[in-house]
Structure 1
């Protein structure tokens, strides 16, 4: 890393200043990278971080579903299957009555909230189905005539 003289790596404050983010967020992200084995951390004060050269993926690394998809699939977003004679598109989602039940109920409530529904923020790791869930919400809103 150029410009650091004898120092090895960057401090949390330097990273936060460079990225224009809060120091606590930079610290959290840097420590996550250390846990993943992608960055090394000094035992000095202030703590300094540096990237591992010739890094191999950690043993517990799981590639994103986007890394393994053919290029032609990346151009077309995942489609929600059409549901005939059923006003609940969410019934096609795996876990709609189990692990996803709370998320499905919140989505339905937000969509049906008068007069035109509520804004929603869908969060989750890459490959968890956020886009699929958003398409399902859109279809549910269309089916229930909340949107045209």
Structure 2
């Protein structure tokens, strides 16, 4: 069946599509020493409850260490930030631990601008903590000394 020129002309003009809310997708991968939840898309007022449910389910099933892989995250607003802080506290209250891994630059910026970096644990924090344990006299907030011949 072919359309005539007259039928095509009678079709309504195509409108500009509205932006589509990408939503949030959470993929769970259980490991021997914990679980990784990979968050893809946007975390905001509408999608933050999904993270809460996923973290609670991990804790309910006995998972003690939860890593949130945030590399595929494309958007985070203040409600998303609040969800990360809540999830961190929820895990700690249950005797577990939650870490934010692979933070996108926009999330680093949000943590810095809001002064909330200290309320969550990131993979970078873990590296600095392990360095502090390995090198006496170095605290988690201290950078390793510069190599000989280089300025600190």
TM-score bracket for the superposition, by shorter chain length: under 0.3
- The TM-score normalised by the length of structure 2 is 0.26
| TM-score after normalising by structure 1 | 0.26
